[in-house]
Amino acid sequence: MGRNAASERLSSLDGQAPESTDFANYFCTYAYLYHQKDMLEDHKRTGAYYNAVLQNRRQFHGKVVLDVGTGSGILAIFAAKAGAKKVYAVEATDMAKTARKLVEHNKFGDVIEVIQGTIETIELPEKVDVVISEWMGYFLLRESMLDSVLLARDKFMKPDGAMYPSHARMFMAPIHTEVGSRRNTEFQGSMEGWAEFIQEMQSFYQVDLECLNDTFRQEQREYYLQTAQWCDVHPSQLLGPGTPFKSYDLGKVTIEQIKAGIEEEFEMDVVEGGPVHAFCGWFDVAFRGSDAHPADTPVTLTTAPDPTGATHWGQQSFYVVPPVECSPGDMLKASIKVDRRKDNHRLLRVEMGVSIDGQPGSSRQLAWNIE
């Protein structure tokens, strides 16, 4: 044996994991200060939250705030700095102990109460005015942490309370990239390695593995070509603008709607010509407060392609092999489905149907996992 149990191809057996598995597979990652540092030093991220809170002091001053998944406690500290009367900072992992230390050291111990537990199991002594959280995963929805944030809203927020962030949008755009072609070459190389391997197995041990060719090919195709990848796309790679294909009002959307996944139709303009090697997906969130308590200074955090480099979320590349041949002025009609994976509810499955408008026969059906 001797394989690494912490495999990069990790998955669980079926659907929603029991809490213990979820701790082992998901929460534990956040128990390392190293990972907290990774997130904190993404200054587009941390700075957006800082601005959203400190440039809207009026929405925090004298208010009761709940920070869902506080990690190191940074957002709770921002809220306290803005004058919150009380901040409940909830964290499932042992990082709660670090948050407590940081809160004390920065002299907010009288305002911030760090609670180690999950939103699903804890209780609070009062309702809150603001729910703040940094819950976004790759392609917005990976990690499925939004469920817990919406539960926090329904369980603890006053009817006229405000969500920070308050809105989220998902985008898709056609891009040029050499990576899809490179991964296809790696896939072909892997299949050549397999051919040599089964010859060896026949010659050394007289065992015929040919009947596994299709299984191996399918497994490798999924790995190399049907798995979305983190990328830092330069805007010059965009063949057209990003289309927002889904938006959420986080004050109103229900947990059931989130769990049901996404099924949308949309269009993408191809402004630059050339083959579409991949679709690039990203998201943004906005901090606008609620109708009753709108933010004075709305703030947006985008993870769109940026010449100064990506946030730690990057974008997700969905490779198209072979590429879709387009011309400038073409319009791509797309339908998209985004679902939680059956084998792990924190991972995603994305299916897209794409065709060039007015070109019968150009229709393609594509699918990827987000690991």
CB 138 within 8 A of CB 313: yes
Give the type of residue at 351: E
Q: In this complex, which beta carbon is closest to a second copy, that of residue 313 or of residue 319?
A: 313
Residues between 214 and 233 with contacts to a second copy, criterion CB under 8 A:
215-216, 219-220, 223
At closest approach, how far in Å is the CB of 125 from a second copy? Answer: 27
Q: What is the dihedral of CA 130, 106, 100, 159, to 10 degrees?
A: -10
Identified binder of a second copy from the candidate list 165, 340, 346, 355, rule CB under 8 A: 346
Ramachandran region, residue 310 (left: φ > 0; alpha: ψ -120 to 50; beta: rest): beta
Residues 6+ apart with CB under 8 A from 23: 92
At closest approach, how far in Å is the CB of 221 from a second copy? Answer: 12
Residues between 39 and 68 with contacts to a second copy, criterion CB under 8 A:
39-41, 43, 46-47, 50
Stretch of 69-77, 115-123, 237-245, 261-269 contacting a second copy, by CB under 8 A:
69-77
Phi, psi torsion values for 66, nearest 5 degrees? -120, 125
Q: Is 323 helix (H, G, I), strand (E, B) or coil?
A: strand
Identified binder of a second copy from the candidate list 15, 61, 62, 101, rule CB under 8 A: 101
**Residue 133 pairs with which residues in a beta bridge?**
68
CB 301 within 8 A of CB 357: no
Residues between 134 and 173 with contacts to a second copy, criterion CB under 8 A:
134-138, 142-143, 145
Q: Which of 19, 91, 134, 265 is catalytic?
A: 134
**Sheet of strand 364-370, all strands in order from the earlier edge strand to the far edge:** 262-269, 331-341, 344-356, 364-370
* Residue spans of beta strands (DSSP E) within the chain: 64-68, 86-91, 112-116, 128-133, 157-164, 167-175, 229-231, 243-249, 262-269, 276-289, 294-302, 315-324, 331-341, 344-356, 364-370
Site string for a second copy, 17-36 (x = CB under 8 A): xx-xx-xxxx-xxx-xxxx-
325 catalytically annotated: no
Q: Does 329 bind a second copy (CB under 8 A)?
A: no
Stretch of 76-84, 151-159, 320-328, 331-339 contacting a second copy, by CB under 8 A:
76-84
Residues between 188 and 207 with contacts to a second copy, criterion CB under 8 A:
194, 197, 200-201, 204-207
At closest approach, how far in Å is the CB of 369 from a second copy? Answer: 12
One-letter-per-residue 3-state SS of 150-191: HHHHHHHEEEEEEEECCEEEEEEEEECCCHHHHHHHHHHHHH
Phi, psi torsion values for 258, nearest 5 degrees? -65, -45
Q: How many residues bind a second copy (CB under 8 A)?
A: 81
Residues between 241 and 270 with contacts to a second copy, criterion CB under 8 A:
none
Q: How far apart are CA 65 and CA 94, in angstroms?
A: 21
CB 58 within 8 A of CB 83: no
Identified binder of a second copy from the candidate list 154, 189, 195, 212, rule CB under 8 A: 212
Stretch of 95-103, 170-178, 253-261, 289-297 contacting a second copy, by CB under 8 A:
95-103
Q: Which of 143, 219, 325, 371 is catalytic?
A: 143
Stretch of 174-182, 208-216, 259-267, 285-293 contacting a second copy, by CB under 8 A:
208-216
At closest approach, how far in Å is the CB of 323 from a second copy? Answer: 26
CB atoms within 10 A of CB 255: 15
Q: In this complex, which beta carbon is closest to a second copy, that of residue 46 or of residue 335?
A: 46
267 catalytically annotated: no
Residues between 298 and 327 with contacts to a second copy, criterion CB under 8 A:
312-313
Q: Does 3 bind a second copy (CB under 8 A)?
A: yes
Identified binder of a second copy from the candidate list 250, 278, 347, 350, rule CB under 8 A: 347
| Catalytic sites, residue numbers | 134, 143
